Amino acid sequence: MYHIRLTLGRHELRLYPLKQDRLPLKDCDREGKPLTRKAGYLPAKYFYEDTEKEYKGDAFKLVNGEAKAKFKRTTKIPLYKYVDERNADDLITERYFYVDSPSLSDELEDNFKQAIPIIFTFGNGFMLYQGFIYYSDSYKSLICKMGLGSLSEKIKEVREETISTSQQEAIMNDLGVERVKEDEMLQLYGIKDNTSNSKERNIGYKKVR
C-alpha cells in the first residue's frame, strides 16, 4: 500500500493517505451509449466507443445503466436531525465553511456537542458530499465541514492491509530535473530560517532529541 516515509526525531513514520475514491462513472449519450472523451480539445469532444464517430451534443453519466444529467445544486433541506458531534470528527473532510445563521447558532449552542448531518451537491457535476454543521466552542461560530467517507473505515482498511502484507517502499522516480531546494521553499512561504548554517533544519520548531 502506498505510503510516505518520514523520520521524526528518533521515530520512523509511515504516512498512509486516507481518502475516499470517487465513483468511476462513464460518459454516455442520451440513450446511455458509452462515450470516450478525447484530450486536447476545448470544448471537450466525445466519441462513441464502438464506432469512434464523434458525438454532437451534451454528454451525460452512466448511472445504474441509465443516462443521468448532473446534480442540481442543493438549495433547501426541509428536515434535519441531531447526531453526536463525534460523527463529524469521523468524516474525511475536504472543505470547511463558516456558517452565518444567528438562529441556528443559538439552537446548536444550546445543543452543545451535537451536529446536524446534511447531504450537499454544488450542482457542477456528479459529486455528492456528506456534511456536518456544528457549533465550535473554540471559534464561537457555526462551522460546516464537507467531505466523503469515514476515517474509521479507512483506518481499518489500512490496518488490515499493512498487517497482512509486507510494507512497500514509496519510490520517488528520477524526474530528470533539479530538485527544489529547501531555501527556495522557505522564501516562497515567507518563513525565516534561522538554521541556514546548520546541517539540520527545524523551521521554527524546537529540535527533538
Domain ranges of the chain: 24-69, 83-153
Please say whether the beta carbons of 28 and 62 come within 8 A: yes
Band (186; pLDDT cuts 50, 70, 90): low
Nearest one of 125, 131, 123, 124 to 148, comparing CA atoms: 131
55 pLDDT higher than 80: yes
pLDDT at 21: 83
Residue recorded with cell 532529541: 209
Distance, CA of 92 to CA of 154 (rounded, Å): 9
166 pLDDT higher than 70: no
pLDDT in tens, 56-68: 888 898 888 889 8
Task: Compute the Cα dihedral for 171, 177, 178, 184 and give only its sign.
Answer: negative
Question: Is residue 104 helix, strand or coil?
Answer: helix
Q: Please state whether the predicted TM-score (pTM) of the whole model is above 0.75.
A: no
